[in-house]
């Protein structure tokens, strides 16, 4: 079920009303409802996918129970590795099997020893990369005794399958989300209204910004041979805003929806395109994933402790694995490696923790230096996004070589400019709103709150009309493919 769909528009109020009206203050019943509603939400795509998530839930629940009861270190390690192997095993088979087979056979053919290995026709279950990481974090935190394992199967199932964040994050930590399932939730008018505002903003980001940028980005990337370097730059920019609008939009909808039910999810995006360096970018982009990798991979590998060699190794591992998490294609791996190359100089010179506050936190505009830093960082991420979007490495290299050619200094395609004028104006408006709200949880968190009621209502109607009116051709959320 998509957030930007009629089905969800009907689904959400029904679940909401049952939750707060019929099951008011009945924590266990509310958890059962959330669990069942989440399975309906997830099974709407393909009910067969439910078997995987339910199996994963059962395995990790019993792993947790086992970890809670056992004091034998060997036994505890065995339980942890069971969880890791099963979760990553599913991920490996469904997401990476064909990639490895293809590269395996290509490598053998390269050396003159062709082998016959068949790829499988495997459908990637929606959200598998997200919920497997979420359940893994539970198992690992239980093993490390950061979290007391739960014996409430319903609460645990609801935590794993929680529909607002099930298919595209934020990847919640059990230490944050699971306890919320055990507490009584009281309806808060202010929290619900804020949740609705965040949903509205998320829909605007997704439907108005991302979907409109997607149409143009697709046109340019799919016909990149026919366009000049200057047009290809536009294509890269459109994709840059598409992926942000899409992914951060989804996160906003997820967080806002969770708030309607009295849950607080972690912030997943913190205005990353206003970053002054790559390190700051990675503290603001897909925060739940980057912190997951930091806590469960980077730090166990030694983190930033140790010599330069270890730092370089760990940095590359993290970024390449992060890239690989996004998809079974060399383009994602190169995207990750490129970000590692960007990040490394900052790490090695201890400049990776320079900008912890948002830019221009005590002024209206950035300084010239901050402006230049933001532009440079933005430019580097745009280049990296080309790999993320391209069909394959050859396409990405050709795309970039055309950008950095003489055709960069020609006029962009008039038909793209003509068709893209409205989108460009919408993106500029979007940037203005983002800049205005950069110190808040989301761009319009405080917008209009001090206005009189009539103007505030007009603002909401304007957003809704913009969503319906300027909504681009329907596009699936990009991150569903991960």
Q: Considering all CA atoms of the chain, what is the largest pairwise distance in Å, rounded to the nearest integer?
A: 75
Q: Please report whether residue 406 would count as binding another protein according to CB under 8 A.
A: no
Catalytic pick among 75, 286, 326, 355: 326
Q: Give the count of residues interacting with another protein (CB under 8 A).
A: 39
Q: Which stretch binds another protein (CB under 8 A): 80-88, 105-113, 356-364, 461-469?
A: 461-469
Q: Please report whether residue 177 would count as binding another protein according to CB under 8 A.
A: no
Binding another protein (rule: CB under 8 A), the pick from 12, 128, 214, 254 is: 214
- HSE-CB for 2 with a 13 A CA cutoff: 16
Is the peptide bond prior to 170 cis by the omega test (within 30 degrees of 0)? Answer: yes
265 three-state secondary structure: coil
From residue 209, give the alpha-carbon distance in Å to each of 77, 243, 381, 401, 459: 47, 10, 18, 28, 18
Site for another protein in 304-343 (CB under 8 A): none
End-to-end CA distance of the chain: 16
CB of 205 to another protein, least distance (A): 14
Both structure tokens of 50: 């439910």
Binding another protein (rule: CB under 8 A), the pick from 211, 277, 280, 402 is: 211
337 three-state secondary structure: helix
371: left (phi over 0), alpha (psi -120 to 50) or beta: alpha
Binding another protein (rule: CB under 8 A), the pick from 59, 217, 232, 384 is: 217
Closest CB to another protein among 398 and 438? Answer: 398
Is 326 noted as a catalytic residue in this protein?
A: yes
Closest CB to another protein among 115 and 457? Answer: 457
Q: Please report whether residue 475 would count as binding another protein according to CB under 8 A.
A: yes
CB-based burial, 146-157: b 16+ in 10 Å, e otherwise? ebebbebebbbb
Closest CB to another protein among 216 and 278? Answer: 216
CB of 259 to another protein, least distance (A): 13
Binding another protein (rule: CB under 8 A), the pick from 99, 108, 296, 460 is: 460
451 three-state secondary structure: coil
Question: What is the C-alpha to C-alpha distance for residues 371 and 17, in angstroms, rounded to an integer?
Answer: 47
Closest CA to 377 of 275, 271, 242: 275
Contact assessment for residue 260 and residue 16, using Cβ atoms and an 8 Å cutoff:
yes
Q: Which stretch binds another protein (CB under 8 A): 160-168, 218-226, 362-370, 399-407?
A: 218-226
Binding another protein (rule: CB under 8 A), the pick from 187, 296, 316, 435 is: 187
Q: Which residues bind another protein (CB under 8 A)?
A: 2, 4-7, 17, 20-21, 24, 187, 189, 192-193, 196, 207, 211, 214, 217-218, 222-223, 242, 389, 391, 457, 460-461, 464-465, 468-469, 471, 473-478, 481
The catalytic residue positions are 326
């Amino acid at each position: 079920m998509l957030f930007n769909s009629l089905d969800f528009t009907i689904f959400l109020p029904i679940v909401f009303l049952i939750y707060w009206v019929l099951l008011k203050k009945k924590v266990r019943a509310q958890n059962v409802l959330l669990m069942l509603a989440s399975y309906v939400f997830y099974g709407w795509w393909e009910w067969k996918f439910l078997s995987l998530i339910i199996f994963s839930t059962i395995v990790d629940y019993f792993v947790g129970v086992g970890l809670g009861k056992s004091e034998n270190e060997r036994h505890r390690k065995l339980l942890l590795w069971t969880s890791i192997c099963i979760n990553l095993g599913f991920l490996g088979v469904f997401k990476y099997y064909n990639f490895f087979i293809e590269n395996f056979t290509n490598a053998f053919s390269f050396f003159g020893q062709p082998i016959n290995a068949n790829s499988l026709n495997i459908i990637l279950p929606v959200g598998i990369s997200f919920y497997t990481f979420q359940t893994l974090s539970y198992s690992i935190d239980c093993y490390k005794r950061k979290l007391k394992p739960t014996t409430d199967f319903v609460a645990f199932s609801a935590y794993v399958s929680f529909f607002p964040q099930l298919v595209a994050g934020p990847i919640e930590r059990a230490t944050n989300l699971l306890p919320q399932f055990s507490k009584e939730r009281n309806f808060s008018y202010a929290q619900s209204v804020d949740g609705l505002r965040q949903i509205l903003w998320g829909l605007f980001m997704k439907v108005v910004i991302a979907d409109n940028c997607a149409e143009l980005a697709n046109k340019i990337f799919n016909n990149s041979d026919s366009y000049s370097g200057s047009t290809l730059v536009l294509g890269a920019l459109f994709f840059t805003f598409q992926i942000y609008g899409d992914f951060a939009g989804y996160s906003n909808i997820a967080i806002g929806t969770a708030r309607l039910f009295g849950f607080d999810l972690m912030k997943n995006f913190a205005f990353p395109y206003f970053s002054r360096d790559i390190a700051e970018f990675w503290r603001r982009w897909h925060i739940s994933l980057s912190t997951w990798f930091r806590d469960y991979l980077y730090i166990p590998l030694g983190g930033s402790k140790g010599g330069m060699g270890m730092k370089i190794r760990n940095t590359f591992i993290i970024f390449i694995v992060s890239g690989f998490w996004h998809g079974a294609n060399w383009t994602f791996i190169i995207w990750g490696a490129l970000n590692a190359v960007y990040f490394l100089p900052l790490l090695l010179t201890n400049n990776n923790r320079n900008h912890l506050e948002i830019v221009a936190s005590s002024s209206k505009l950035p300084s010239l230096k901050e402006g230049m830093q933001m532009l440079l960082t933005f430019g580097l991420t745009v280049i990296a996004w080309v790999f993320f979007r391209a069909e394959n490495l050859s396409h990405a290299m050709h795309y970039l070589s055309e950008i950095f050619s003489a055709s960069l200094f020609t006029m962009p395609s008039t038909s793209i400019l003509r068709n893209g004028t409205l989108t460009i104006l919408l993106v500029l408006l979007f940037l203005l709103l983002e800049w205005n709200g950069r110190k808040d949880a989301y761009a319009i968190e405080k917008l209009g709150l001090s206005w009189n009621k009539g103007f505030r209502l007009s603002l909401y109607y304007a957003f809704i009309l913009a969503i319906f009116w300027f909504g681009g051709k329907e596009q699936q959320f990009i991150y569903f493919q991960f």
